[in-house]
Structure 1
Amino acid sequence: MNRASSSAPIAPGRDEMRDERGVVAGLCWMAGWVAAIVAVVVASASAASAIKLAGVPDPGPITTYGLPVVTGVGQLSAAIALGSAVFAAFFVPAQADGIFDIGGYRAMRISAVASLVWGVCGLLGVPLAISDVSGETFAESIKPGNLTSAYGQVAGAQTWLWTAIFALLAAVLARVVWRWGWSIGVIMLVTLSLMPSALAGHSSSGGDHDLATNSLILHIVGAAVWTGGLFAVLAYALARGRWRVLAVRRFSRVAFWCVVVVGTTGVLNALTRVPISDLLDTTYGRLILWKIAAFVVLGGLGAWHRRRTIAELEAQAGDESDAPWWKSLFVRFGAVELAVFAATFGLAAGLSRTPPPPVDTASISPVELKIGYQISEPPNVARMLFDWRFDLIFGTLAIILAAVYLRGVVRLRRRGDEWPIGRTIAWILGCALLLVATSSGLGRYSPAMFSIHMISHMMLSMMVPVLLVLGGPVTLALRALAPAGKDNPAGPREWILTGIHSPWGRIATHPLVAAVIFVGSFYVLYLGGLFETVVEYHAAHLLMNLHFLVSGYVFYWLVIGIDPAPRQVSPVAKLGIVWGSLPFHAFFGVALMMTSSVIAEQYYRSLLLPWRYDLFDDQRIGGGIAWAFGEIPLVVIMLALLVQWQRSDERAARRYDRQADRDQDADLDDYNEMLKSLNKRPG
């Protein structure tokens, strides 16, 4: 592959892969038309009842059928964009200098085009959503005056606009990037573009909407990676890329877990919205059964792929003949599977336009409408410990983190290597606390009471990260994962090392950046008015929990981390960072206790909890908790720093002893000779 010697890289050469762009474009058109047709057919089955339920005039066929088409084609494009970016990042290796190989380069360009299509669909969705809600025709809704006046009143229009913004940003980034590390940014932006629709659909309202929304988030992301990954691998196999066997193997592993996620979350999401008795008696229920049937077909096709077509592809790994693409069983079968995926996306788009079975909202309490479940009794110790409601995202994350860590420890033990038991205990305790903070009574009462929220917050930001950092997960991964070897494609171990030594890693672990984000976010969130603005939204609670975990982990990784880090900080500097940040944290707790007004008072009063308590006193308790909790990890931090300092001195002493053994104390002899020469000088 030729590359210019200047700082600006040129596009990778076209001589290493066949040019099958016409076939790939044909697959895109085929998938798009299948999704659009199925979406229209499904939407037409319930269009009249949807309009009647909405209580607005018929907006016309452009809106009635255009909205499901835009949804189906757009979400399919988002899946292709996400899968192609994941393909470029993890399924095929980049070059030694970090610039994409030809396969990754083409996949990223496909991701850019697909993101652009998704963004255009998002922009079209804005006037379509306004037309759908108002009953005006699309021609009227798209007029600038109507758009600007109705946008703030139509939640669907806001959802589509945020979708378009994230998708277009992903398209721009995917089009200009050349290096492997930037593909992570594309993956994040495309994933963010899927979130507005996941958080605003049928799952976001009514009882159990916390479970329904969390399951839908996992469901959409899993389906997108599965579908888009298949498309990217199929396009790469069509062009006979040299890493196609490796790419298919890696995709096969990812696809297996996508099947597990999509299947499990699909069932959970359906059960929270439709009683089993309504599956056969309602249009919505029958469409869910069709989705289940499509999932079974896709799962069967995937199993067939693993058993037959992948084996054929591996057998032809060394065959570089110029055989036409339709001779490959993998390509033919993959095209059929892609068509089924497209039909499933169309079915899902039509389902989103189909009214679910009516729910008796009169029987749902205000607190259940706000947070998704009923709270009928005040908190006490027993309820905090035993009244659990599993958090599908963070509870699952805690279990997965513990299982993966223990698997790494077992792999080391089987190899005959030792791993400190203290690190394992710290990690498992951290995972257990993460589970307790989000899924026990603490997690259940956290959205309803400020004091309980503050306990959960402090655990997620102050205690869980300390224990996870002391577990040394990066060191364990680097020891448990086998290196790729010279001239072999990079694997998970190399990806971890690249991430650690990336410029973004150095920025995130700068002492000033880590401390400001960790401590400063308390002030911005609670004393700056942000919490009061976002507390009503389920997405905000997910983002807050994620921020607490990540910011706390980065801060303590810098301060007491035993893993390799982008920056090496001396023990004295670490001690200074801890003592420098503690006053700000303590002052935050005091300031919270001294606040003269109740934070998010309107939200907490709207819950109408069935017991009485003083919101101001509850907030003061929360401030006291924030102030006192800082002392708990401080003891652990100081002990860890003292132990690390002692071990650092011991390692330095051992290095000195080994050097002395090699050169027979040459440094000491030189020092003694210098002293003798000084004594011989006249005074």
Structure 2
Amino acid sequence: MNRVVRLAGPALLLLVAVATLLAGLAFGGGADAQLLGDPGAVVRWGLPIAQLLVNLSAAVTIGALLMACWALSPDRREYGAALDVAAAGAAVFAVASGVTGFFTFLNVTQVPLTFDDAFGAKLSLFFTGIESGQAWLQTTLIAAAVTVLCFAVRNHTVLVFVFGLSLVSLLPMAQQGHSAEASGHNAAVTALGLHLVFAAIWLGGLLTLVFIRKTLEDGRLAPVLMRYSTVALVSFVVVAVSGYVSAELRIGSLDRLGTPYGILVLVKVFALLALGLFGALQRRVLIGRIERSAAARADTPAGRTGTFWWLVALELGFMGIASGAAAALAKTAPPVDQAVPSTPTPAVLLTGEELPPELTFSRYFTEWNIDLLWLLACAFGIFFYIAGVVRLHRRGDSWPILRTVSWVLGLLVLFYLTCGGINVYQPYLFSVHMLGHMGLTMLVPVLLVPGAPVTLLARAVRKRSDDSRGGREWVLLAVHSKFAGIISNPLVTAVLFAGSLWVFYYTPLFRWSMEDHIGHEWMVVHFLITGYLFVQSLIGIDPVPYRLPYPMRLLLLFATMAFHAFFGLAIISSTGLFLADWFGAMGRTWGQAPLLDQQTGGGIAWSVGEIPTLALAVAVAISWSKSDAKDQKRLDRNADRTNDAELNEYNERLARMAANDTRS
């Protein structure tokens, strides 16, 4: 690649991003002097510039770590080069986060900069006692830790945890993006978090390719680029959808697109559409040309490859427009008022939302509260599963249709539980919360496990031969790890499945899941995983280190369900209210009284769980019957091959024993 192009791309990104940011601040008024307590021009302009550097450096860090984990071989120079890029990005990330936190302190407190003890005490109080200060302190510390780990860690498996830590660094920023008391807080946090993560992956991955290009050996560019292109395509979809949700929450209606905030949104949309076109051109045309050039030993900075890198530089320029517009939007007042109502209702104070209408049977299916995280997870889960089945059929291999139906139906049920009427009413009614819980931990796994996703992945996805790890390699590594062997043990899965019920509802975890959106998402993930592991140990098709004999599986199932039923009976007979200052303080004028509703929830835990239990018992019995039939067929084939050698030997042994008895 021409050195000018390699330097022009990142420089163009930075220059265009800063220019777009400054223009956006001037146009939208994000850096205008405040009428009361103005912090000064340095803070008003310096804060959004520092936040832009935070976004860009975080993207470099996350993108480089993803490329090292997903696309690059640890046995080649490219791997170490990507980690060096990640370390440099994390160092800038840490410094920029600290500067942003300092500017935020000056902007919020409007304390003049001095070097005395009083200023230091106020600064310390801000970073340790104020929510926004704590968020920036957390981000700075995590970024500093990632910087050290990028230098210290070279193990491919351990590096994936460093990548996960780098993603966690974006969480405090996502939680700051919307008032916790304002309407739509949970949706805004989810949308902003997804937007930050996948925008960072998209931009950072492309920058990493530019930075490490010199270390890629001949013929390596095309496969690495194809792997990045797959990630970029997913990122484009998530960024587009999450961006739309965030804009809709802050704009409200199309007539507000004429406001300064709306104009900046349109600029960002224009840049996003251009980036989508660039991605389509690269995936459908240029990557194929690079592969043909590499095959002809023409993978040089000139010709087709040179044209590709100039296109990359142009793409980085449009990413700069999108990044600058996003940073300007963060400082521009949206047309939808984000203020908390002056006289909020109890439900608004507790949940951030007004009470829904009275629950009727029809409203279970007509009321919706879309959780973008699970909408995208279910959509991608269905798409990639069907894509794997289609790949098998094109290759001439078969895949049972019932597995596909079971998997798709399971994800559709998961989508309803996390986005439908149950998700609307579960913060207000314990019984609805328990109904959703039972669906997550018992119904959805019963449908997902027969889909055998790991088996499909192992068959449909091509094995890599360059020591890098893609989805197939990471999943199989996790499935065959020692940790997976422990948690997939049938006895352990039963303890996790039944014991977590008591731990969750009788500890502060239940309060966390109700009061904090992150806690709610953790609850969904936890009960999905524990339910999946338990069902997998009973009727799973995917490989596990150990399975119980069928009689023991039935015994384990009935013992666990008895424990589960005892949990439901304990709630039915309880006289105290779970989270009385939550369920008892909503101000509902409809539905059952809170304690009676809680007892109804206990009845749901006791009775509704019996239906999946019966289905599991029938499935285990059918599997047992099929296993016996297979064993009998195997024995019959062996007898045909050996002319009943085992039976003849057995009869001869009986005859010898009879002869010995006769002589005795």
Shift of 1:383: 0.9
Aligned residue identity for 2:493: A
Shift of 1:644: 1.8
Looking at structure 2, the residues matched to 473 and 399 of structure 1 have their Cα atoms a distance apart, in angstroms, of: 15
Instruction: Report % sequence identity.
Output: 33
Aligned residue identity for 1:333: L
Shift of 1:70: 3.0
Q: Deviations over 1:294-329 (max 9, x none)?
A: 223323333443465434433431466796689822
* Counterpart for residue 411 of structure 2: 431
User: Is the contact made by 1:60 and 1:137 (CA closer than 8 Å) also made in structure 2?
Assistant: no
Shift of 1:645: 1.9
* Counterpart for residue 605 of structure 2: 626
User: Is the contact made by 1:198 and 1:220 (CA closer than 8 Å) also made in structure 2?
Assistant: yes
1:278 aligned to 2:256? yes
Shift of 1:250: 2.3
* Counterpart for residue 102 of structure 1: 77
**How well do the aligned residues superpose, as a CA RMSD in angstroms?**
3.6
1:157 aligned to 2:136? no
Shift of 1:119: 3.6
Looking at structure 2, the residues matched to 364 and 261 of structure 1 have their Cα atoms a distance apart, in angstroms, of: 36
Looking at structure 2, the residues matched to 235 and 649 of structure 1 have their Cα atoms a distance apart, in angstroms, of: 59
Shift of 1:336: 3.1
The one of the two structures with greater contact order (alpha-carbon pairs below 8 A, sep at least 6) is: 2
| Residue aligned with 1:354, SS | coil
1:659 aligned to 2:638? yes
Structure 2's unaligned 5+ residue stretches are none
Which of 561, 570, 586 in structure 1 is aligned with 2:540?
A: 561
Matches within 5 A, 1:25-104: 31=13, 35=17, 38-39=20-21, 42-43=24-25, 46-47=29-30, 49=32, 51-52=34-35, 57-61=37-41, 63-92=43-72, 94=73, 99-104=74-79
Looking at structure 2, the residues matched to 595 and 129 of structure 1 have their Cα atoms a distance apart, in angstroms, of: 48
Looking at structure 2, the residues matched to 301 and 506 of structure 1 have their Cα atoms a distance apart, in angstroms, of: 44
* Counterpart for residue 348 of structure 1: 326
Shift of 1:446: 1.5
Structure 1's unaligned 5+ residue stretches are 1-17
* Counterpart for residue 547 of structure 1: 526
Shift of 1:468: 0.7
Which of 97, 100, 120 in structure 2 is aligned with 1:122?
A: 97
1:470 aligned to 2:450? yes
* Counterpart for residue 593 of structure 2: 614
Shift of 1:174: 4.1
Q: Deviations over 1:180-209 (max 9, x none)?
A: 433432332222222222232037553334
Shift of 1:178: 3.5
Looking at structure 2, the residues matched to 355 and 232 of structure 1 have their Cα atoms a distance apart, in angstroms, of: 34
| Residue aligned with 1:58, SS | coil
Looking at structure 2, the residues matched to 566 and 169 of structure 1 have their Cα atoms a distance apart, in angstroms, of: 35
User: Is the contact made by 2:85 and 2:211 (CA closer than 8 Å) also made in structure 1?
Assistant: no
Looking at structure 2, the residues matched to 610 and 289 of structure 1 have their Cα atoms a distance apart, in angstroms, of: 43
Distance 1:139 1:664, change over 3 A: farther
Looking at structure 2, the residues matched to 151 and 170 of structure 1 have their Cα atoms a distance apart, in angstroms, of: 20
Distance 1:34 1:640, change over 3 A: same
Choose 560-569 or 26-35, whichever is displaced more.
Answer: 26-35
Looking at structure 1, the residues matched to 43 and 582 of structure 2 have their Cα atoms a distance apart, in angstroms, of: 35
| TM-score, length basis structure 1 | 0.85
Distance 1:48 1:322, change over 3 A: closer
Shift of 1:599: 2.5
Looking at structure 1, the residues matched to 464 and 507 of structure 2 have their Cα atoms a distance apart, in angstroms, of: 51
Shift of 1:579: 3.9
1:525 aligned to 2:511? no
| TM-score, length basis structure 2 | 0.87
1:538 aligned to 2:523? no
1:268 aligned to 2:245? yes
Distance 1:122 1:25, change over 3 A: farther
* Counterpart for residue 336 of structure 1: 314
Looking at structure 2, the residues matched to 143 and 512 of structure 1 have their Cα atoms a distance apart, in angstroms, of: 58
Choose 622-631 or 458-467, whichever is displaced more.
Answer: 622-631
User: Is the contact made by 1:76 and 1:342 (CA closer than 8 Å) also made in structure 2?
Assistant: no
* Counterpart for residue 477 of structure 2: 498
User: Is the contact made by 2:75 and 2:467 (CA closer than 8 Å) also made in structure 1?
Assistant: no
Matches within 5 A, 1:597-608: 597-604=576-583, 607-608=586-587
Which of 374, 377, 393 in structure 2 is aligned with 1:394?
A: 374
Q: Deviations over 1:127-177 (max 9, x none)?
A: 443333222246579965334433454221222233345444544544444
User: Is the contact made by 1:463 and 1:633 (CA closer than 8 Å) also made in structure 2?
Assistant: yes
1:195 aligned to 2:175? no
Distance 1:149 1:487, change over 3 A: closer
Shift of 1:227: 0.9
Looking at structure 1, the residues matched to 327 and 348 of structure 2 have their Cα atoms a distance apart, in angstroms, of: 27
Aligned residue identity for 1:301: F
Distance 1:583 1:258, change over 3 A: same
Looking at structure 2, the residues matched to 504 and 26 of structure 1 have their Cα atoms a distance apart, in angstroms, of: 46
Distance 1:19 1:466, change over 3 A: farther
Aligned residue identity for 2:108: V
Q: Deviations over 1:244-269 (max 9, x none)?
A: 10111222233233223222322232
